[in-house]
Amino acid sequence: MKKNTFEKHIFSICFLTVGLLCFVTSGANAQTPKLTLDLSKTGAKVSPMLYGLMTEEINHSYDGGLYAELIRNRIFKDNSTKPEGWSLVQEDTTTRATIKLVAADPNNISYDEGRLAINEALTTCLRLTVQKSGSLAGIANEGYWGIPVKPSTAYKASFYLKGTGSTPMRRFGPPQGGGTAPSAPTIENNTAGPITVTIESNDGKIVYATGIINLEKSNFWKKYELTLTTGADVKPTTNARFVISTNRSGLYYFNMVSLFPPTYNNRPNGDRIDLAKMLKDMKPKFLRFPGGNFLEGPDLASAFPWKSTLGLIENRPGHKGSWGYRPTDGMGLYEFLMWCEEMGADPLLAVYAGYSLNGDHVDAGPLLKPYVDDALDEIEYVIGDVNTYWGAKRAADGHPAPFKLTYVEIGNEDWFDRTNSYDGRFTQFRKAIEAKYPQLTCISTIADAQYPDLKVTSGKKPAVFDEHYYRSSWDMWENASQYDSYDRNGPKIFVGEWATREGAPTTNLNAALGDAAWMTGMERNSDIVIMSCYAPLFVNVNTPTATAPKAWQWDSDLIGYNALNSFGSPSYYVQKMFSSYLGDVIVPTTAENIPTQNRPATPQRPNSQNAAPAKPKAVPTIFYSATKDAKTGTIYLKVVNTLGKVQPVQINLKGVGKVASKAAMVVIKGAKPEDTNTITEPVKIVPITSTVKGVAPTFTQKLAPYSVTILSLQSGK
């Protein structure tokens, strides 16, 4: 449908209410809503990249989410005053032991050899002091809201450890500037010998998996690795901790303590299997990363530091992050790219463009040049051949072949920068990127339609605009047709973040109905809406505990999880349905008799970036789009019913020739708009597949209350 859109629905409805028009066709009365799919016309092509994913470190999307690492605060930098996530464990009180954060010295100038830093990234370590041994004493990590224990599972543990006594070291002489070496009670160095490593219940009573490493007598850090395997009879639980303990006195220094369960595709430093599978099931065509606000950082110094996210995890210091906690950067640039590869998705790389969340920006010109150069380096890492500096680094990291890259986004939501500096910044980035990589297309984060006063005016118009929409279901229903009237010759649209924000932490059925309506509008117009991705993708649903904060910062997310289990929101299933049942050409479709409901006036629009009051308005209650697979002849008709009652729809397949009398139908529905899935009720609202009989060139399909229906109609080609 192009022209015959919402206006036409309204026209038809008004016309019918005064009784001037009467359609009588098989099985349908005059008021029956009617969809006519014109198969005699060749519609525009569906964008092959229409549905993708957007990701950033928010809501513990990676640490405590997709990134499979189980140890919280593995390099002890989350909080400079206390070892968050860590505690002392003692088998009994006869052992005198303490734990303390200790600054490691990157310059190796220390009286305490245990403090020598492993490298420049690991500048804090955890010291376990055992003054008098009797029984086991050690350090315990609580994980990200628990360590997930599963039966017959092999966990790979690794850590740096060094054991010393407390006698001050003489090797480096007195401190610079004079003085004497610090004094402390002498603790004998008995540290060499067996060290016990366990995954155990939080009260220590049940040991789920155990192993031993042999701590060597050495004055230097050493990395120890072992595998801990649970028994077949273990019951899944998150009520577990990871413990490293000793029965000897001494000073024990720990750093980069890591524990990985099996990962998706067994990739080292890889992803959690259940979540990766859920993403793969969505059949995403691209992945927009690394943000979002996470790209920009809270200030200019804290933008996504892609260079220090590469290589061995012990070389990654992590950084400040944008959502109130410190990301490990275990999910680094290379891991994003491997994630794309594992999903069969193209990377859509967002590069930092010199604007951060506190409102600071770098003006275009010489000051911006280092940022532009950094983006060029980053692109070289992604697509440079192995003879380039950064291409060689990528090869060394394990991927000699360049990745596929078509789109580079310059910044994120630069409309927040009301100084109008984006025009200059975008232009400088675009010029440099296109000069070196003419095959790449730069995306502007300011779209003419959304921010006409801030748009990029220098040089040619950007080829692609990124539009963001966070809305209520009313807003989605009201605006689902907005792309019907976009200029067909204007820039292409990337809807790089959008969501119907109802339900928390994950969305509810009503949000999914808003999403589906909105998606029909994008799909019908996928000649200009070339890409779209929902946000945020992930949420760790844990609520606060005595030692750990609430896991999420943003309500209404797509996929929820705790340490052990995960679930899709109704919105997740709608996403999956839309991308799984999609043709490659748009079928021009017109609608008649679409009933409306009245949107009430509200002084504000909840959960919306649009602050304007909502006016009362009649909005449609049925939304639709149709695409066809040109090779197989399958027509995918998507129809959304936002009302709590059955709505029959007459479907006319104009010019279809033959159509199979049976069709596959997939429906997601629920009894109440606020119905949802949760960690304890994960599959309340899921799609159900069935077969529909009686399909003909004209037939009537009943739409269930509060439902999204997709019919796969088999036509002759």
412 binds ligand AHR (CB under 6 A): yes
65 binds ligand AHR (CB under 6 A): no
Q: Which residue has 């009313």 as its token pair? A: 474
Closest separation in Å from C-beta 275 to ligand AHR: 18
Nearest CA-CA partner of 591 in 635, 627, 639, 628: 639
Closest separation in Å from C-beta 559 to ligand AHR: 14
**Residue with smaller CB distance to ligand AHR, 143 or 291:** 291
**Residue with smaller CB distance to ligand AHR, 159 or 534:** 534
Identify the residue among 56, 84, 113, 475 touching ligand AHR (CB under 6 A).
Answer: 56
536 binds ligand AHR (CB under 6 A): yes
Count of residues making up the chain = 717
End-to-end CA distance of the chain: 21
Using an 8 Å Cβ cutoff, are 365 and 427 in contact? Answer: no
Closest separation in Å from C-beta 61 to ligand AHR: 10
**Residue with smaller CB distance to ligand AHR, 56 or 341:** 56
**Residue with smaller CB distance to ligand AHR, 138 or 291:** 291
Closest separation in Å from C-beta 289 to ligand AHR: 12
**Residue with smaller CB distance to ligand AHR, 146 or 503:** 503
Backbone angles phi, psi at 519, to 5 degrees: -70, -35
Using an 8 Å Cβ cutoff, are 277 and 182 in contact? Answer: no
- Region of 21-29, 253-261, 290-298, 434-442 interacting with ligand AHR (CB under 6 A): 290-298
Return the residues of window 439-498 that contact ligand AHR according to CB under 6 A.
Answer: 497
> What's the CA angle centered on 420, arms 419 and 421, to 5 degrees?
90
The size of the interface with ligand AHR (CB under 6 A), counted in residues, is 11
Return the residues of window 489-508 that contact ligand AHR according to CB under 6 A.
Answer: 497
**Residue with smaller CB distance to ligand AHR, 58 or 139:** 58
Nearest CA-CA partner of 465 in 500, 497, 510: 497
409 binds ligand AHR (CB under 6 A): no
Identify the residue among 142, 413, 414, 592 touching ligand AHR (CB under 6 A).
Answer: 413
Nearest CA-CA partner of 469 in 610, 621, 569: 610
Nearest CA-CA partner of 288 in 197, 388, 408, 204: 408
292 binds ligand AHR (CB under 6 A): yes
Identify the residue among 43, 138, 143, 291 touching ligand AHR (CB under 6 A).
Answer: 291
What is the secondary structure of 221-256 as a DSSP string?
Answer: -EEEEEEEE--TTPPPBS-EEEEEEESS-EEEEEEE
Identify the residue among 535, 574, 665, 710 touching ligand AHR (CB under 6 A).
Answer: 535
Strand (E) or helix (H) holding 432:
helix 422-436
**Residue with smaller CB distance to ligand AHR, 533 or 577:** 533
- Region of 208-216, 253-261, 286-294, 699-707 interacting with ligand AHR (CB under 6 A): 286-294
Closest separation in Å from C-beta 520 to ligand AHR: 22
Backbone angles phi, psi at 230, to 5 degrees: -85, 155
What is the secondary structure of 519-544 as a DSSP string?
Answer: HHHHHHTTTTEEEEEES--EEE-PPP
**Residue with smaller CB distance to ligand AHR, 501 or 669:** 501
Using an 8 Å Cβ cutoff, are 260 and 69 in contact? Answer: yes
Strand order in the sheet with 698-703: 589-592, 34-38, 647-654, 698-703
**Residue with smaller CB distance to ligand AHR, 52 or 292:** 292
Amino acid at 192: A
Identify the residue among 307, 554, 584, 660 touching ligand AHR (CB under 6 A).
Answer: 554
What is the secondary structure of 567-581 as a DSSP string?
Answer: EE-HHHHHHHHHHHS
293 binds ligand AHR (CB under 6 A): yes
Q: Which residues bind ligand AHR (CB under 6 A)?
A: 56, 58, 291-293, 412-413, 497, 535-536, 554
